[in-house]
Each structure stands twice: as structure tokens, then as C-alpha cells.
């Protein structure tokens, strides 16, 4: 009988992927070595190879894992059978929320997918297409005339254009977080600038003042 995996195996694997995604996002996939990944994880290189056979398997796992999570959230929202407007808003909320914790993985998916072998790249891209199709179907459900005019996919790509690069300008310590931005994105996409509702914010106390 084969030896089972130790408790915490999956947790350690996810931690490695998190560190590898951070390095790939900051340094680029070609410029990152397994030695650097092992060092970032606080592991020996031999231990790292126990979890991943090479750097390429890290890339596949990061890219496919990220897009699979996006695929799953689309499926989960579809199952809820929400009214059309609420469904699109929920999709936007969920994907903005997902990106908040997956900035490095998203950058890897966007910039390093070109390094995947043909079969792996097509599998990942097929999953991406399913995500886009899910959003486009939600847009078409809300505005059937746009579906008939074959505009749902272009409009979905415009929506992703807003969301995909939020991590390049949003500051973790800023006044606006992803929870606040999700309804703003939905308002802007679904109703235009005049429909944007500013989030309620608690004024920051000036240093030295208590009132």
C-alpha cells in the first residue's frame, strides 16, 4: 500500500503556489528559478520538488488554478437563478472580490500564459472563454437586444477591461477597497457615470483631534 500524504500537504502546496505566483508576477516567469521559489517558501529545493516536479508545473498550476476559480464562481452564481440585474451585479461583485486576493495569479495568467505549451495553453484559454461566455450571457439576459446585435461579448470584454487592471492602481492602504469598488464598477457598467453611487465612508480623524 502506498504511503498517504501527510496532513497539511495541500496547505503547503497552496503556500508554494502563492509564493511562486508572487515571484513570477514581480520578476517574470523566465527570470524566476526554483531556487528562488524554495528560498521564498523557506524550503529546501529537495522539499520543493516533492510538491512540484519543475518550474513549468508551477506555472500550469497557478494559471489553471486561477481561471478555474473564476469558472467556479460563474457556475455558483448561475445556480442561484437570480433576476437578470441582480445576477450581473453578483457576478461583478464575486469576480472583483476574487481578484482582491489573487492579484499575483491574475498577473501570471495575463502575462505568462504565452509560456505554456500548446495543449496546456488551450485548456486554460478554453476556461477563460467559458468565464467570458458566462458574463456575456448575463449581459444578454438583461439586454436581449444587445445579444441580437452581437454586442454582449464586446461589452463583456469592456467590463473585464475595467476589472482586470484594478490591482495596478488600487493601494491596499487606500480609502477604497475592493468591497467598495465592486458596486461602483457595476453602477458604471450597467448605468453609466450618472448612476455611480459613492460609497459611505467614515471620515479619518486628523492627527491630534478627537472630534
Check residue 201 and give its pLDDT.
63
Check residue 1 and give its pLDDT.
38
Cell digits of residue 152 = 454582449
Check residue 135 and give its pLDDT.
97
Check residue 200 and give its pLDDT.
77
Highest mean pLDDT among 48-57, 99-108, 202-211: 48-57
Q: Which domains does the chain have, with CATH numbers?
A: 56-167+176-193 (1.10.357.10)
Per-residue pLDDT tens over the stretch 41-94? 999 999 999 999 999 999 999 999 999 999 999 999 999 999 999 999 999 999
Check residue 3 and give its pLDDT.
46
| 23/26 Cα distance (integer angstroms) | 5
Q: Which residue has the higher pLDDT, 196 or 114?
A: 114
| 197/194 Cα distance (integer angstroms) | 8
Check residue 195 and give its pLDDT.
82
Check residue 196 and give its pLDDT.
79
Confidence class of residue 101 from pLDDT cuts 50, 70 and 90?
confident
Check residue 72 and give its pLDDT.
97
pTM over 0.95: no
Number of H helices, E strands in the chain: 10, 0
Per-residue pLDDT tens over the stretch 4-55? 465 588 899 999 999 999 999 999 999 999 999 999 999 999 999 999 999 9
Report DSSP state, residue 4: P
Tallying the residues shown for the chain, one arrives at 211
Per-residue pLDDT tens over the stretch 119-177? 999 999 999 999 999 999 999 999 999 989 999 999 999 999 999 888 778 776 777 88
| CA-based nearest residue to 123, from 54, 189, 61 | 61
Check residue 202 and give its pLDDT.
53
The answer to whether 165 touches 181, Cβ cutoff 8 Å, is: no
Check residue 186 and give its pLDDT.
95
Amino acid at each position: 500500500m502506498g504511503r498517504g500524504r501527510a496532513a497539511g500537504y495541500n496547505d503547503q502546496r497552496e503556500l508554494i503556489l502563492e509564493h511562486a505566483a508572487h515571484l513570477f508576477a514581480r520578476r517574470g516567469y523566465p527570470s524566476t528559478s526554483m531556487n528562488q521559489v524554495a528560498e521564498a517558501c523557506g524550503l529546501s529545493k529537495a522539499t520543493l520538488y516533492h510538491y512540484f516536479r519543475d518550474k513549468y508545473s508551477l506555472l500550469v498550476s497557478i494559471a489553471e488554478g486561477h481561471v478555474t476559480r473564476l469558472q467556479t464562481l460563474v457556475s455558483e452564481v448561475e445556480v442561484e437563478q437570480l433576476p437578470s440585474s441582480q445576477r450581473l451585479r453578483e457576478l461583478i461583485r464575486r469576480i472583483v472580490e476574487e481578484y482582491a486576493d489573487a492579484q499575483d495569479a491574475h498577473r501570471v495568467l495575463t502575462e505568462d500564459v504565452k509560456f505554456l505549451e500548446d495543449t496546456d495553453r488551450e485548456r486554460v484559454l478554453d476556461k477563460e472563454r467559458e468565464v467570458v461566455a458566462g458574463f456575456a450571457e448575463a449581459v444578454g439576459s438583461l439586454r436581449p437586444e444587445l445579444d441580437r446585435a452581437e454586442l454582449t461579448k464586446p461589452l463583456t470584454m469592456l467590463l473585464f477591461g475595467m476589472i482586470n487592471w484594478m490591482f495596478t492602481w488600487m493601494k491596499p492602504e487606500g480609502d477604497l477597497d475592493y468591497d467598495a469598488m465592486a458596486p461602483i464598477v457595476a453602477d458604471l457598467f450597467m448605468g453609466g457615470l450618472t448612476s455611480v453611487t459613492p460609497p459611505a465612508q467614515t471620515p479619518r480623524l486628523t492627527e491630534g483631534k478627537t472630534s
